């Protein structure tokens, strides 16, 4: 078997690893966090969130 | 809102601000530049040369500058609107605030289709490039390109899934490399450094405009290839640290980079490769810059442009995943699509469901559709988006005139760029109709059908109260 055949197998294996990692992490995240937390992003609220950190002396 | 223990070791990523999870503001102007130029630069490496086949080298140059004007208008208009409407979704969000829901739904779909198709086309190209490398290194027989096509999509999707900063820093490095490769090729072949190999006069003799003025018209829509995707910078709007500064800076620096890269590419390739070979992107010059490097006789240039081609392809696919997922996410967040897509990963702060959902769609197109059809669908969706932009800016200026709201950037000579962009879009539509009339009609038919579906069914689910988020005064006339 030539070098490029091994590289082909390597590409299949890496693709599967990346895909598997995403899917497993996705399932783990979905089962760990409540849905309303995951979908809590609101347009235009990021600045407001950053402003919550107030330094008090 | 659910009560979550923010000190939990399991539930990581929830900040002290509470249980809301949004995209992270971590990007700077260089990342915006890398996103815009990264998506586009592959068009310099391949694809633009079909314009030479349609009308000769001069027609390709006219197409290059014609499209350059069109995209300069796009960049200026986008810079103004998106630095004011600084949210994920880019033109979709602009349409939502300025025109209305139906326009926004259509623009969102243009964006997702244009970027996902372009991502698929890039993955096909990357697979082809790997097979060329295999042949050049002595591999006998046809290499199976599928594992490499799939690997490109999977790796870049994974990178996007893990975080936007690493994704666009990666894009910055490989895009800068690909742009530098074009500059080095120009310096090496033009005679500025070492002996030049260009001979424009001999190559153009008797072939200045082989098909006359109709050839110029036919070549126009391939001119778009030099710049297609620069408008993608707007998708970073919710993730840049300073939208008012980074978005106009990155976008305008991006279009300037592309104008230089496009003109140099035309000059280098047309001065070295005969137009019949250069203009045949299927059986002739598939990758003109790489072919020019091969003719230079320098092994260093061949490797440099070889990697430049591969990096440009990867950068484009990477930027497309970033942009398509942000548009899909923004539509989900507003319930234009199921709200499930509007989720953000609590640790990586990316729209992870949108990213994962678009992977199989890109794979289906990359593995099952012919490259030219995929590219055509991408261009046509992009063109519909460009047609929306001038109407959008005219309405934006009319409803919220200068000084009525704070803008990050005010583009000059309004409404001239808008009128020019609209006229150029009209001419390009006519040129596309000449070459791809059936696809154009079929695609417009598709958007009409989904518009009816949205109007009569989907709109009832839209989060109407929450979708207008800008703290602007009432528009004039309302």
Partner A contacted by B356 (CB < 8 A)? yes
> Is B157 close to A43, i.e. CB distance below 8 A?
no
Find all residues with CB under 8 Å of B315, minimum gap 6, and list them: B34, B38, B39, B41, B42, B171, B174, B175, B178
- B375: pLDDT confidence band, cut at 50, 70 and 90? confident
> Is B87 close to A50, i.e. CB distance below 8 A?
no
Considering only CB atoms, B19 lies closest to which of A4, A29, A37, namely: A37
A11 in a domain, yes or no? yes
Give me chain B's average pLDDT, please. Answer: 91
Question: B402 — phi, psi (to 5°)?
Answer: -55, 145
Partner A contacted by B244 (CB < 8 A)? no
> Is B150 close to A15, i.e. CB distance below 8 A?
yes
Chain B window 193-232: which residues touch A at a Cβ cutoff of 8 Å?
none
SS3 B402: strand
> Is A39 close to B334, i.e. CB distance below 8 A?
no
CA angle B113, B37, B70 (to 5 degrees): 75
Find all residues with CB under 8 Å of B293, minimum gap 6, and list them: B185, B301, B302, B304, B305, B306
A8 in a domain, yes or no? yes
The residue that leads in pLDDT, B406 or A28, is A28
Please measure the distance between the N-terminal and C-terminal CA atoms of chain B and give it in whole angstroms. Answer: 35
pLDDT at A44: 74
> Is A52 close to B17, i.e. CB distance below 8 A?
yes
| Residue B366: Cβ-neighbour burial (10 angstroms; 0-12, 13-18, 19+) | buried
- A53: pLDDT confidence band, cut at 50, 70 and 90? very low
SS3 A43: coil
Q: Which residue in chain B has the smallest CA separation from A53? A: B17
pLDDT at B415: 93
Number of domains in chain A: 1
How far apart (Å, rounded) are the C-alpha atoms in residues B290 and B306?
6
Highest mean pLDDT among A38-42, B357-361, B403-407, B431-435: B357-361
| Domain range summary for chain B, segments of one domain joined by + | 29-461
For residue A55, pLDDT over 50 is answered with no
pLDDT at A48: 44
A56 in a domain, yes or no? no
CB B277 within 8 A of CB B284: yes
> Is B22 close to A11, i.e. CB distance below 8 A?
no
How far apart (Å, rounded) are the C-alpha atoms in residues B227 and A22?
32
Asked which of B348-352, B449-453, B459-463 is least confident by mean pLDDT, the reply is B459-463
DSSP H stretches of helix in B146-242: 146-162, 164-189, 200-204, 212-223
pLDDT at B299: 92
CB B250 within 8 A of CB B41: no
Q: Which residue range is the domain that position A37 belongs to?
A: 3-50
pLDDT at A50: 44
Partner B contacted by A51 (CB < 8 A)? no
What is the tens place of the pLDDT at every residue in B157-197? Answer: 999 999 999 999 999 999 999 999 999 999 999 988 878 88
* Chain A partners within 8 Å of B2 (Cβ): 34, 36-37
Distance of CA B84 to the CA centre of its chain: 21
A32 in a domain, yes or no? yes
pLDDT at B280: 87
CATH 1.20.1740.10 fits B29-461, yes or no: yes
* Chain B partners within 8 Å of A45 (Cβ): 20, 22, 469
* Chain A partners within 8 Å of B4 (Cβ): 33-34, 37
The residue that leads in pLDDT, A41 or B18, is A41
- A57: pLDDT confidence band, cut at 50, 70 and 90? very low
- B430: pLDDT confidence band, cut at 50, 70 and 90? confident
A55 in a domain, yes or no? no
Q: Which two tokens stand for residue B390?
A: 């001038």
Kindly report the nearest CA distance between residue A1 and chain B, in angstroms. 11
How far apart (Å, rounded) are the C-alpha atoms in residues B114 and B112?
6
Query: What was the ipTM of the complex prediction?
Result: 0.88
Question: B38 — phi, psi (to 5°)?
Answer: -60, -40
> Is B22 close to A46, i.e. CB distance below 8 A?
yes
- The whole-number average pLDDT for the span B200-204 is 88
What is the tens place of the pLDDT at every residue in B286-344? Answer: 899 999 999 998 999 999 999 999 999 999 999 999 999 999 999 999 999 999 999 99
Kindly report the number of other CB atoms within 10 A of residue A24's CB atom: 10
């Amino acid at each position: 078997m030539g070098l490029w055949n091994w590289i082909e197998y390597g590409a299949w294996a890496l693709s599967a690893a990346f895909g598997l990692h995403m899917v497993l992490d996705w399932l783990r995240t979905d089962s760990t966090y409540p849905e309303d937390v995951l979908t809590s992003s609101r347009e235009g609220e990021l600045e407001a969130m950053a402003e919550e950190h107030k330094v008090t002396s | 809102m659910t009560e979550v223990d923010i000190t939990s070791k399991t539930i990581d990523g929830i900040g002290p601000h509470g249980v809301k999870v949004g995209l992270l503001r971590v990007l700077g102007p260089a990342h915006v530049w890398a996103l815009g130029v990264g998506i586009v630069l592959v068009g310099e490496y391949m694809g633009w040369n079909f314009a030479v086949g349609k009308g000769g080298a001069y027609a390709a140059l006219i197409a290059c500058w014609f499209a350059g004007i069109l995209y300069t208008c796009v960049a200026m208009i986008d810079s103004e609107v998106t630095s004011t409407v600084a949210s994920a979704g880019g033109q979709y969000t602009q349409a939502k605030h300025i025109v209305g829901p139906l326009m926004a739904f259509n623009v969102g779909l243009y964006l997702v289709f244009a970027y996902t198709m372009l991502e698929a086309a890039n993955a096909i190209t990357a697979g082809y490039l790997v097979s060329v490398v295999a042949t050049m290194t002595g591999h006998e027989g046809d290499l199976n390109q599928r594992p490499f096509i799939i690997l490109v999509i999977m790796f870049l999707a994974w990178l996007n899934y893990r975080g936007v900063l690493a994704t666009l820093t990666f894009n910055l490095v490989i895009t800068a490399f690909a742009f530098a490769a074009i500059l080095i090729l120009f310096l090496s072949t033009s005679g500025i450094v070492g002996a030049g190999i260009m001979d424009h006069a001999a190559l153009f003799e008797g072939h200045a405009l082989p098909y006359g003025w109709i050839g110029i018209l036919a070549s126009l829509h391939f001119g778009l290839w030099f710049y297609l995707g620069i408008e993608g910078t707007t998708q970073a709007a919710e993730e840049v640290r300073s939208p008012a500064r980074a978005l106009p800076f990155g976008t305008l620096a991006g279009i300037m980079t592309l104008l230089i890269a496009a003109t140099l590419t035309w000059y280098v390739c047309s001065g070295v490769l005969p137009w019949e070979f250069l203009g045949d992107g299927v059986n002739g010059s598939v990758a003109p810059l790489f072919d020019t490097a091969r003719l230079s006789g320098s092994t260093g240039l061949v490797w440099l442009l070889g990697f430049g081609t591969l990096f440009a392809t990867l950068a484009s696919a990477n930027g497309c995943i970033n942009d398509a997922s942000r548009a899909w996410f923004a539509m989900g967040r507003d319930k234009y699509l199921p709200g499930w897509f509007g989720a953000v990963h609590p640790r990586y702060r990316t729209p992870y469901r949108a990213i994962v959902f678009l992977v199989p769609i890109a794979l289906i197109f990359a593995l099952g559709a012919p490259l030219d059809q995929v590219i055509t669908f991408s261009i046509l969706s992009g063109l519909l988006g460009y047609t929306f932009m001038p109407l959008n800016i005219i309405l934006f200026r009319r409803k919220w005139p200068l000084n009525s709201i704070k803008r990050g950037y005010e583009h000059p000579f309004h409404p001239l760029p808008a009128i020019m962009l609209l006229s150029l879009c009209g001419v390009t539509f006519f040129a596309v109709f000449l070459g791809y009339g059936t696809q154009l009609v079929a695609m417009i038919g598709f958007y009409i059908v989904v518009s009816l579906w949205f109007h009569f069914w989907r709109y009832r689910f839209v989060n109407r109260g929450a979708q207008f988020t800008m703290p602007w005064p009432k528009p004039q006339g309302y």
